[in-house]
């Protein structure tokens, strides 16, 4: 089979100048429909990926990759700390191990302000408080100001029903930061573990430990390794309980599952655009086949095999599909670029966790969307191709 | 002539259009032998079945009964792919309405049978170039069929039919759609080509003049062929 001939036949017949206006209209409509369908899918996935990625990135930026804690929420003792540290540092890709003491507290800043906060003391952090930007705003403080923290450890209720707070600890705000996640920005205070311990009146308290990993290290694998090492050590040491290591992201499995589900649902809805476009493609192909029925009869008379007729027919559909897919993918790429650079999307952080949304165009997503669309174009082309195949050349030649 | 082997034969061909009550029995036992270098005209009124006969002999339609033989072989006892190959190698068609493909240049149209046969595009274009010269329209090669005259189109169609040097050329009223002048040119050209090549030509025509210039005349009458 002469591939040039097959290619030229199908492409030239698709764009033939002899087509009636209506056939051309339906043809253009199917290209446009496929382009819109593909573009919509890629744009949707780009922004869903961008959104999920932003949340993931912010969570990872503030939290250690792997958490080690006692099942049931029990406190870790100093010997646990030593053991976990030793085991974790033995795993390739570990950048550091921190002890964390994290508990709720009450903060007040400027006169009359008060907020419930989560104080996170970390062994790697310096003294003084780092506040999320929203929290700093609501407390009316900035860098260099002092916030007063009260822990529930020092709260008691007197016989008269008055709330007494013994432990009020002033702390200098050393930094106001954007943690990336709205919830953290509204309520997180980070400080040294020593400050947290004195605030909570717990000299050796460790609520969990964090293991930092290099970017290339997979948190899931690292936590599985660490978890089994911990299990061995504790069981060997005759302990009934042991520490558990889990990747931080698994605390948010539900969130990411929900996001994935939403993305899937929207993909299906937007896929309907493509379905409609493909119906259009089907009628365009039928009309083009009808307009070139004669030509196919002539080709058969010249000795074209049924296979060549079939392939030519299929290639018509594929070439329409390919043009639509390429236009759609390029349009999606350009749209994401333009939105990111000129029309940044702002979100309500209290609803969406993150406050800005940037699309993340992925070539892989674009390729998958394009490949699937082309595959379906191919399937849609089969019916007209089969009918071209079974058309009698003699009848085709008499067709006016 | 009778001692040569026919390149194409029709044996007791019947052909019926339609099914059930609504049938039209067009060919009722037509027989024909075509020999290399022979020029045969078929005449008959409109609707007598000339086109049908040519379609059957050209393997485009299967006879209801009887047989078509190409070089003594029955094409309907083999696969459609092999039959396509026989059409490509052994048969050339010229239709009443040129049937050139509008989206291709005249040169490409003439090269098409060669490309279908599996020859490369450049080789096919070379062969076609020679044929365009032979039919005298080499200067129109890069034009599209809609840009040339009816006579030139029919010359291109003739060149296309000869591209694979088939043993048999079937021409269905090749000048039926041309004015007198173009008819003269195309008829002369066709007869010249037929004499200079060792091919069998079967020409369906309404023109008594053309028929008389062919070596042999057959009349299609009530579904059978008789010598005229
Ligand atoms: N596809 C068809 N279905 C039914 N009848 C047909 C079909 N094609 C041709 N006919 C009829 O068969 C007869 C022979 O037609 P045709 O072979 O075209 O004759 P000619 O070429 O001699 O004019 C005509 O009566 C025509 O109407
Ligand atoms: Mg006819």
Atom of ligand 1 nearest to the CA of B172: 21
Residues of chain B neighbouring A9 (CB-CB closer than 8 A): 101, 103
Cα(A313)–Cα(A9) distance, rounded to whole angstroms?
9
B205 lines ligand 1 (CB under 6 A): no
B199 lines ligand 1 (CB under 6 A): no
Indicate the residue of A303, A397, A398 with minimum beta-carbon distance to B84. Answer: A303
Half-sphere exposure of A284 (CA within 13 A, CB side): 32
Residue A330 CB contacts under 8 Å (≥ 6 apart), including other chains: none
Residues of chain A neighbouring B87 (CB-CB closer than 8 A): 300-303
| Rounded (10°) angle between helices A3-14 and A253-291 | 90
Alpha carbon nearest to ligand 1 atom 3, residue = B17
Which pLDDT band, with edges at 50, 70 and 90, does B1 fall under? Answer: very low
Q: How far is the CA of A168 from the centre of ligand 1 (A)?
A: 107
Residue in B closest to A300 by C-alpha:
B84
Give the ipTM.
Answer: 0.93
The per-residue pLDDT for range B46-101, each reduced to its tens digit, is: 999 999 999 999 999 999 999 999 988 899 999 999 999 999 999 999 988 878 99
Mean pLDDT calculated for residue range B183-194: 87
The average confidence (pLDDT) of chain B is 90
Residue A92 CB contacts under 8 Å (≥ 6 apart), including other chains: A217
pTM: 0.78
Q: How far is the CA of B42 from the centre of ligand 1 (A)?
A: 16
Which pLDDT band, with edges at 50, 70 and 90, does B144 fall under? Answer: very high
Alpha carbon nearest to ligand 1 atom 5, residue = B17
A306 contacts B116? CB cut-off 8 A:
no
Cα–chain center distance at B138: 22
The percentage of residues in chain B with a pLDDT greater than 90, rounded to a whole number, is 65
B160 exposure class (CB count in 10 Å sphere: 0-12, 13-18, 19+): buried
**pLDDT on residue B19:** 75
Which residues have a beta carbon within 5 Å of ligand 2, which is an ion? B 51
Residues of chain A neighbouring B84 (CB-CB closer than 8 A): 300, 303-306
**pLDDT on residue A241:** 62
Radius of gyration of chain A (CA): 32
**Helix (H, G, I), strand (E, B), or coil: what is residue A118?**
strand
Residue in A closest to B54 by C-alpha:
A394
Any idea what DSSP says for residue A77? Answer: P
Q: How confident is chain A (400 residues) per 10-residue block, as mean pLDDT?
A: 88 83 87 94 91 83 84 74 87 90 90 91 88 93 92 70 75 90 90 91 86 86 88 77 80 82 88 89 91 91 93 93 95 93 81 78 91 93 89 83
Alpha carbon nearest to ligand 1 atom 13, residue = B47
How far is residue A344 from each of residues A43, A44, A107, A134, B13, measured CA to CA in Å? 14, 15, 34, 21, 78
**Helix (H, G, I), strand (E, B), or coil: what is residue A160?**
coil
Give A264-288 as a DSSP string: HHHHHHHHHHHHHHHHHHHHHHHHH
Mean pLDDT calculated for residue range B180-206: 88
B118 contacts A1? CB cut-off 8 A:
yes
B26 lines ligand 1 (CB under 6 A): yes
Which pLDDT band, with edges at 50, 70 and 90, does B189 fall under? Answer: confident
Question: Ligand 1 pocket test: which of B14, B18, B20, B24 has the largest number of ligand atoms within 8 Å of its C-beta?
Answer: B24
Element of type H or E holding B218: strand B216-221
Q: How far is the CA of B55 from the centre of ligand 2 (A)?
A: 10
Residues of chain B neighbouring A302 (CB-CB closer than 8 A): 87-88, 93, 112-113, 116, 160
A13 contacts B103? CB cut-off 8 A:
yes
More confident residue, A73 or B159: B159
User: Per-residue pLDDT for B122 more than 80?
Assistant: yes
Determine how β-strand A345-346 pairs with β-strand A356-357.
Answer: antiparallel
How far is residue A31 from each of residues A23, A38, A116, A231, measured CA to CA in Å? 12, 11, 57, 60
Q: How far is the CA of B204 from the centre of ligand 1 (A)?
A: 14
């Amino acid at each position: 089979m002469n591939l040039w001939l097959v290619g030229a036949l199908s492409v030239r017949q698709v764009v033939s100048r002899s087509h009636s206006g209506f056939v051309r209209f339906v043809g253009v409509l199917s290209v446009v429909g496929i382009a819109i369908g593909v573009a919509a899918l890629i744009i949707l996935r780009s922004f869903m990926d961008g959104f999920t990625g932003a949340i993931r990135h912010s969570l990872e930026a503030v939290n250690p990759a792997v958490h080690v804690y006692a099942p049931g929420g029990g406190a870790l003792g100093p010997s646990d700390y030593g053991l976990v540290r030793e085991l974790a540092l033995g795993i390739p890709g570990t950048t550091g191990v921190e002890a964390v003491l994290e508990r709720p507290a009450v903060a007040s800043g400027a006169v009359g302000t008060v907020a419930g906060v989560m104080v996170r003391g970390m062994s790697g952090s310096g003294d003084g408080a780092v506040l999320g930007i929203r929290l700093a705003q609501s407390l009316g403080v900035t860098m260099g100001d002092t916030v007063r923290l009260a822990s529930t450890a020092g709260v008691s209720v007197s016989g008269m029903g008055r709330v007494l707070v013994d432990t009020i600890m002033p702390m200098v705000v050393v930094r106001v930061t954007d943690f990336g996640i709205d919830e953290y920005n509204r309520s997180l205070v980070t400080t040294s573990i020593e400050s947290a311990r004195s605030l909570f009146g717990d000299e050796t308290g460790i609520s969990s430990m964090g293991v930092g990993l290099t970017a290339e290290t997979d948190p899931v694998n690292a936590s599985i390794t660490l978890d089994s090492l911990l299990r061995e050590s504790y069981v060997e040491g005759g302990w009934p309980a042991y520490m558990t290591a889990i990747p931080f992201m698994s605390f948010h499995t539900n969130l990411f599952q929900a996001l994935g589900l939403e993305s899937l649902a929207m993909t299906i809805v937007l896929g309907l655009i493509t379905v409609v476009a493909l119906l259009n493609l089907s009628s365009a192909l039928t009309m083009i086949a009808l307009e070139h029925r004669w030509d196919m009869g002539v080709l058969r008379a010249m000795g074209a095999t049924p296979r060549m007729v079939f392939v030519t027919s299929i290639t018509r559909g594929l070439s329409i599909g390919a043009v639509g897919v390429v236009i759609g993918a390029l349009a999606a790429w350009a749209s994401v670029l333009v939105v990111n650079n000129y029309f940044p999307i702002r979100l309500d952080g209290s609803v969406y966790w993150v406050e800005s949304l940037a699309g993340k165009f992925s070539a892989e997503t674009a390729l998958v969307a394009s490949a699937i669309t082309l595959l379906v174009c191919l399937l849609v082309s089969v019916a007209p191709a089969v009918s071209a195949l079974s058309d009698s050349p003699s009848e085709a030649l008499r067709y006016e | 002539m009778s001692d040569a082997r026919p390149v194409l034969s029709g044996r007791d061909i019947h052909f019926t259009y339609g099914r059930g009550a609504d049938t039209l029995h067009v060919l009722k036992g037509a027989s024909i032998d075509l020999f290399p270098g022979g020029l045969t005209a078929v005449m008959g009124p409109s609707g007598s079945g000339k086109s049908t006969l040519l379609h059957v002999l050209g393997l485009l339609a299967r006879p209801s009964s009887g047989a078509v033989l190409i070089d003594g072989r029955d094409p309907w006892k083999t696969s459609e792919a092999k039959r396509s190959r026989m059409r490509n190698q052994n048969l050339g068609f010229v239709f009443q309405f040129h049937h050139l493909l509008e989206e291709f240049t005249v040169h490409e149209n003439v090269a098409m049978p060669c490309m279908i046969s599996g020859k490369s595009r450049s080789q096919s274009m070379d062969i076609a170039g020679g044929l365009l010269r032979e039919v005298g329209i080499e200067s129109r090669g890069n034009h599209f069929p809609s840009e040339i005259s009816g006579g030139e189109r029919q010359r291109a169609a003739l060149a296309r039919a000869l591209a694979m040097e088939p043993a048999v050329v079937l021409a269905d009223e090749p000048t039926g759609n041309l004015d007198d002048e173009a008819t003269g040119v195309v008829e002369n050209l066709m007869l010249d080509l037929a004499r200079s090549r060792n091919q069998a030509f079967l020409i369906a025509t309404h023109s008594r003049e053309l028929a008389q210039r062919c070596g042999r005349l057959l009349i299609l009458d009530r579904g059978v062929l008789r010598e005229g």
